[in-house]
A and B are shown apart, each in its own frame.
Chain A
């Protein structure tokens, strides 16, 4: 089934997507509270069971498109990316994705602290669905790009935070997927590395078949994405050409002169 679909162009289709984020048991969430509630003890915390993070969202992204997602904090942008990646389960509607997803969020998470940089490159590659041979083929390039010297053979827990970020960046950007999901443009390290990183990001953006970029930086959105979706309280406020959507979004906050 998988092989027969490989030639199909990459696409994302979201239809009436809803995502309720459960918070009820985060408010209560202990055996003590559950037991006390059996004996009639009332929770003092307000009874909120879920927050609707995405509300009947529909859109379609075809191969070749670069789509920006904007909105104020808490509007559901990052949640939408993670729902497309299949990390957050949706509670209503349908998301259909064709193509290998490359999600780039929280890239510094998930290192094995006791394992060396070299081993972590292998683990991260395997997590991304590559075979050990595929990871080995890319390993030297990743190490060279990360530029962490002999530290690559030391446990990651010995790294400075800058080195961890550089390694995470080098690994995450070397793996190529069809659909690139980005939560803010990535940058890392000192001035020399930033220039290299920007060049790498540019290549990554041009090689992906689909890019969905969440950002608060309207300049970046305008540079990268011809199309933009504006989210507010989990709903699509506007979906169209970036210039129009960004102008409408900004006009909500900046009073006309």
Chain B
């Protein structure tokens, strides 16, 4: 598709710095969108955001009750394993499935105002990140009561690790959102793909399974598995994340951002016409 030139001197220029400057103007909007999404998610519930803490605790307890008999794991460590998996997956897995709708739910704004397109997937992922931060409280509660020996100074890495997961999740949502605007079949396929990825990553099934000869080569290259390993290293294993895991997540994040920005540049020219 050929391109014309549009210059509006009321907004930033088209360089990357200009784009960031333009995006920064909408930081209040983004924060209010996130608050609105969270209110909508827990609307008319008495407990509100407490559900973000309570749900993973109860969910993990239920699964643990059954699974400890199958995997013969000590219940305490398995519950904290599940909850930490919950925190990570609720951000990076949900970024794909939730990201599919990110542009479509922004249609009303896109048809009226010239906002930077990335604000829509940013909204999705930021809401998920705040929710995951609350879910982290569930992880802390479980650890304090079940495996207090896991409490360590490595918890100080938590903000950094959450930021890392957030940056990893954003381009996933951008790509999923763009793909879904182009092909509406994508949201259905993405649901299945995320489900498959969930099974192929150590979220619920014990970690040792993923080191079995059949799965290990895939696990070693799966940034989702590394993201889970990083979070568990600092939260439950009193350890630095391994260099391999960090390199894999950072590398995947960089590649995904390049792909997402390119896709946004190319598809952004036509996006409004596909809504």
Contacts and interface: CB of A to CB of B under 8 A. Distances in A.
Interface of A: 1-2, 5, 8, 17-22, 25-26, 29-32, 34, 83, 85-101, 103, 105-107, 109-112, 114-115, 119, 122-123, 126-129, 131-132, 178
17 contacts: A26-B273, A29-B274, A30-B185, A87-B110, A89-B6, A91-B1, A101-B8, A101-B10, A103-B113, A114-B40, A126-B28, A126-B29, A127-B26, A127-B29, A127-B112, A131-B28, A132-B28
Nearest to B18: A1
Interface residues of B, number: 44
Contact of A97 (B1, B9, B110): B9
A129 B185 CA distance: 35
Interface in B58-110: 107-110
Given A123-B29, A123-B32, A93 B270 contact: no
A10 B7 CA distance: 13
B39 interface: yes
A214 B109 CA distance: 21
A127 B4 contact: no
Contacts of B5: 90, 93-95
Contacts of B13: 1
A94 B2 CA distance: 12
B207 interface: no
A61 to B, nearest CB: 14
Given A93-B4, A95-B5, A25 B114 contact: no
A123 B269 CA distance: 25
Given A89-B272, A91-B3, A126 B26 contact: yes
Nearest to A132: B28
Contacts of A107: 112
